[in-house]
Structure 1
């Protein structure tokens, strides 16, 4: 019980500090730390990530940081495509799921280290691959200009996030945060808050889908979930005091270590 609570607090802290990455730590914590299978760990990880993210999202809504229309669109597409991921998760061998998760962690670590190496300093804006970002804020209203290009971009992001969430039990923040930074001109605080809202909504759909196929959460799972909420609250309070550069390098290094452990176990 103590170990589950410890891992839950760590996952919540990372989620609160970054708006991403907490979910990708939750599954390895349950698989490697508590000896669960991937199919056992995925719904508990989703429940924990979703609950913790909801706390952060409510805080973001209170401060007017959440782009809630964008969050709802991404979550809607995520809800539609999440069952696809759940379907394959219950039909793929455990070894394949663990190797997929390891590959995903390596990709996340590579993106963080690459971004760290190429960016000269902190910035609230990403750089798109074309002249104008797909989703731009209206200078007068401060809201998104809902063009067809913007709508299609956010819908596609939601679909991909939903499939990955259902398949591997992750919230999807590691996809949402860099995508928002790359494709929109929303400031980083708004990106994190919006990501947390999407994660909470998509995770809720994934948990409901898991319950429908007979998955149940035991006492260890409940301890992990409660601890993750506590970690989220602490992470949100600490976020303004932790250097982003150190956090990126530390998290990327941790991802690589865990990915190696998952691959060896598989």
Structure 2
């Protein structure tokens, strides 16, 4: 049980600090510590990450650093495209999908790691400096819609959360600071996760109560710790931490693919 608590604290903290990494780390962690199959670990991990993200969403809405319209729009567009992602996953071998995704993650992580966080002068979706909200137009709607479609496709194909896609995309196309990007990403994760949980419950999935409660509680506490830490570190530090997590996870995925292909 101690290992489960430590896993939840670490995953929640990373989620709070970076706005990503929850789902893709929670599932293998639960599989390793509880000796579960992915079919059992994925719904429990998703439940914990979604509830933890919900706590952060409440904080973000109170502090007004979530761009909720953008988050809802991205989530709405990602849900239907996830169905096509699931369809593609049955056509393309999963091992090659994972390899492609991990290489993209490695590229994105490297770009973010070596670039400055405030190099956003060419942002396409701009914040109104007077209201602090996005200036909505056709271009803004199309870009956020595109982020949603791609997020849904990759989520459906690979079963990963959207944070690894949403955070770099918002950083590239908007002039939001990293703290607002993370908060907005967490709201998208909450929206998508809520739909998935509803589907799991509707299909009759039975959550193991004791383990689920402990893991959820640990993730929530970890996320609150992570969000608290963000008040004391710079945007540049958050950027470096996020990119490091992305690179670490990408290398782990590449290793698993190479093992499956009997290369190593």
Instruction: Classify the TM-score, shorter chain.
Output: 0.7 to 0.9
Q: Distance in 2 between matches of 1:86 and 1:212?
A: 19
* Equivalent position of 1:64 in the other structure: 64
2:202 is aligned, of 182, 204, 212, to 212
Q: Distance in 2 between matches of 1:52 and 1:63?
A: 17
Q: CA deviation at 1:180?
A: 0.7
Contact kept? 1:103, 1:259, Cα under 8 Å: no
Q: CA deviation at 1:3?
A: 2.4
Q: Distance in 1 between matches of 2:238 and 2:178?
A: 11
Structure 1 stretch displaced more, 147-156 or 101-110? 101-110
* Equivalent position of 2:173 in the other structure: 183
1:137 aligns with 2:131: no
1:229 aligns with 2:220: yes
Alignment CA distance shift 1:203-1:73 (3 Å): same
* Equivalent position of 1:162 in the other structure: 152
Q: CA deviation at 1:175?
A: 0.8
Q: Distance in 1 between matches of 2:214 and 2:83?
A: 26
1:113 is aligned, of 110, 115, 126, to 110
Structure 1 stretch displaced more, 199-208 or 29-38? 29-38
Q: Which runs of no fewer than 5 residues in structure 2 stay unpaired?
A: none
Q: CA deviation at 1:158?
A: 1.4
Find the residue that maps to 2:204 and give its secondary structure.
coil
For normalisation by structure 1, the TM-score amounts to: 0.82
Aligned ranges 1:70-149 → 2 under 5 Å: 70-85=70-85, 97=94, 100-101=97-98, 103-117=100-114, 119=115, 121-123=116-118, 125-126=119-120, 128=122, 133-149=123-139
Alignment CA distance shift 1:48-1:212 (3 Å): same
* Equivalent position of 1:244 in the other structure: 238
Structure 1 stretch displaced more, 50-59 or 25-34? 25-34
* Equivalent position of 1:27 in the other structure: 27
Q: Which runs of no fewer than 5 residues in structure 1 stay unpaired?
A: none
Alignment CA distance shift 1:204-1:187 (3 Å): same
Cα RMSD after superposing both structures: 2.8
Alignment CA distance shift 1:67-1:187 (3 Å): same
Alignment CA distance shift 1:222-1:261 (3 Å): farther
Contact kept? 1:57, 1:193, Cα under 8 Å: yes
Q: CA deviation at 1:21?
A: 2.0
Q: How big is each residue's C-alpha offset from its partner over 1:150-205, in whole Å with a ceiling of 9 and x where there is no partner? A: 11111121122233334444331111111111111222221111111111111111
For normalisation by structure 2, the TM-score amounts to: 0.82
